[in-house]
Amino acid sequence: MKSRTCGLANAWNLRDENWRRHALNCEECGEILSTGEWVSRLATQTSTAGLPAPGFLLAKARIRARRSAVEHAAIPIYSMACVAVGLLVISATVMFMTEIRFAEIMTNAISLIVSYLALIAAGTLISAVIYYATSYLVRTNRI
């Protein structure tokens, strides 16, 4: 970096008329003056009308940070809940299947559900068609 030879070469003098006259003849001050004018023109051309308010951005960033912290803190809780549910399901399955009477009841229940599977699927399909037709009519303001 070059050392300054002019003692007046700084950006604080941009508004001083005497310094501006000096800058016309001084190379260092002339560079500072042209750079300052360019930055001023750029600042007037740049529009800040489309930007949200800084307070809004700060509030939004704080909310996002809190939400992220809560989600990060909940990861071990969800993991332990999944492990606990898995252990309960496995232990219940092993416990119930070891008893012959319960295994027989479960086998009969599953076979009964399978025998009515076509009726269950038809009822589900009819319910879905009614739901979607109703939601379509509500959405198009026909009801």
4 pLDDT higher than 70: no
Tell me how crowded residue 29 is: count the other CB atoms within 10 A of its CB: 21
Predicted TM-score (pTM) of the model is: 0.32
- Per-residue b/e over 51-86, b at no fewer than 16 CB within 10 Å? eeeeeeeeeeeeeeeeeeeeeeeeeeeeeeeeeeee
Over residues 93-118, the mean pLDDT reads 80
C-alpha 39/C-alpha 65 separation (Å) is 35
* Averaged pLDDT score across all residues of the chain: 82
Task: Map residue 4 onto helix, strand or coil.
Answer: coil
| Structural contact between residues 40 and 15, judged by C-beta atoms closer than 8 angstroms | no
Q: Where are the domains of the chain?
A: 11-45, 54-139
| Structural contact between residues 26 and 9, judged by C-beta atoms closer than 8 angstroms | yes
Q: Give 1's pLDDT tier (boundaries 50, 70, 90).
A: very low
C-alpha 134/C-alpha 143 separation (Å) is 8
122 pLDDT higher than 90: yes
pLDDT tens digits, 68-88: 888 888 888 888 999 999 998
7 pLDDT higher than 80: no
C-alpha 29/C-alpha 14 separation (Å) is 9
